[in-house]
């Protein structure tokens, strides 16, 4: 069983990614939470509820950063709703998060499991903070798989994607380490949408499936407004799917990314550069992704 740590700002697609990890047999050592789609207290609450929903109250949850490294939070209420889960309600868990702060927990989990994969589904604030506190993490973490960045088309500004835009300094900090890195940027995600009709087929007759459908309601309405089709998008689940099966990447390139950190209209954009620092997924294998999504509903 492959061991992973999940770092998340649990909004709609993070919830699906967490369920995907568990239902496809990854060994989730723990989940650390960070502000992003919504504030970290709500994010933590969401993770506890999602784990309760799938009967995994045993997976420990650790609360992390309240704010990005430099700037204040930006909101994403339009897509993720007031509670971060598109205002979909699920039962409250009967436990709270562990008392250990996320960066400390990240270090402890990695120390006990050298070579572990960290899958990041939100801004990289906790990861940068943890490596800053414990530089040994550079050799303890086997790989970071990160949903973030955009090559040609952003989703917050014309060029910037939400997770890296939210805390560009943290993203650059992680790029500047030696930890092997796989980036899942926004561009291929937009080409891997699932039309509502097909999604209905995938999720039918299952409790988790129905939850996924309810979660995707707001993003589908958003897609309809902006792109004229009711379709579901899956940024974080694609990153998780790659952690489960590398076949999910139909095409990837080796390169470098540098964050634009200056206060101008490009702030938060990830600029593709020559280099060999990271692998960047540029095309997704839709059938492999759907296979893992179907497993998630079982």
Look at residues 147, 180, 183, 177 and name the one whose alpha carbon lies nearest to residue 163: 147
The interface partner of residue 76, options being ligand BDR, Ca ion, none and the CB cut-off 5 to 8 Å by kind, is ligand BDR
- Is 122 near Ca ion (CB under 5 A)? yes
Look at residues 187, 170, 183 and name the one whose alpha carbon lies nearest to residue 268: 170
- Is 84 near ligand BDR (CB under 6 A)? no
Residue whose tokens read 């992390």: 64
- State the Cα angle at 76 between 75 and 77, rounded to 5°: 95
Q: Hey, what are 295's tokens?
A: 């497993």
Contact 166, 8 (CB under 8 A): no
Please give the Cα distance from 65 to 102 (Å, whole number): 8
* Alpha-carbon distance values, 65 to 57, 93, 103, 160, 215 (Å): 22, 22, 9, 21, 25
- Is 14 near ligand BDR (CB under 6 A)? yes
Out of 88, 131, 147, 281, name the contact with ligand BDR by CB under 6 A: 147
- Is 186 near ligand BDR (CB under 6 A)? yes
- Is 32 near ligand BDR (CB under 6 A)? no
The interface partner of residue 45, options being Ca ion, ligand BDR, none and the CB cut-off 5 to 8 Å by kind, is none
- Is 81 near ligand BDR (CB under 6 A)? no
Map the footprint of Ca ion across residues 201-240, applying CB under 5 A.
236
- Is 146 near ligand BDR (CB under 6 A)? no
Contact 95, 51 (CB under 8 A): no
Return the number of the residue (101 or 237) whose C-beta is nearest ligand BDR: 237
Q: Which residues bind Ca ion (CB under 5 A)?
A: 9, 14, 121-122, 236
Q: Which residues bind ligand BDR (CB under 6 A)?
A: 11, 13-14, 37, 76, 121-122, 147, 155, 161-163, 186, 235-236
């Amino acid at each position: 069983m492959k061991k992973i740590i999940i770092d998340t700002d649990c909004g709609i697609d993070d919830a699906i990614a967490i369920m995907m990890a568990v239902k496809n047999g990854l060994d989730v050592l723990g989940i650390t939470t960070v502000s992003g789609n919504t504030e970290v207290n709500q994010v933590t609450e969401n993770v506890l509820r999602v784990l309760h929903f799938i009967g995994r109250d045993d997976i420990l949850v650790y609360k992390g950063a309240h704010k990005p490294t430099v700037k204040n939070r930006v909101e994403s209420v339009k897509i993720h709703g007031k509670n971060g889960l598109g205002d979909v309600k699920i039962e409250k868990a009967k436990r709270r998060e562990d008392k250990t702060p996320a960066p400390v927990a990240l270090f402890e989990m990695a120390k006990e499991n050298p070579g572990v994969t960290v899958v990041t589904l939100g801004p990289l604030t906790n990861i940068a903070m943890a490596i800053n506190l414990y530089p040994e993490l550079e050799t303890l973490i086997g790989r970071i798989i990160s949903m973030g960045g955009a090559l040609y088309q952003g989703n917050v500004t014309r060029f910037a994607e939400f997770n890296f835009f939210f805390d560009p300094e943290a993203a650059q900090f992680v790029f500047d380490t030696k930890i092997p890195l796989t980036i899942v940027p926004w561009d291929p995600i937009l080409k891997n949408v699932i039309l509502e009709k097909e999604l209905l087929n995938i999720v039918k007759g299952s409790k988790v499936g129905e939850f996924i459908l309810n979660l995707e309601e707001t993003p589908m309405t958003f897609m309809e407004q902006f792109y004229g089709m009711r379709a579901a998008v899956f940024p974080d689940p694609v990153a998780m799917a790659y952690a489960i099966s590398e076949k999910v990447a139909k095409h990837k390139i080796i390169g470098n990314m540098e964050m634009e950190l200056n206060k101008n209209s490009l702030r938060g954009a990830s600029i593709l550069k020559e280099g060999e620092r990271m692998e960047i997924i540029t095309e997704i294998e839709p059938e492999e992704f759907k296979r893992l999504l179907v497993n998630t509903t079982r």
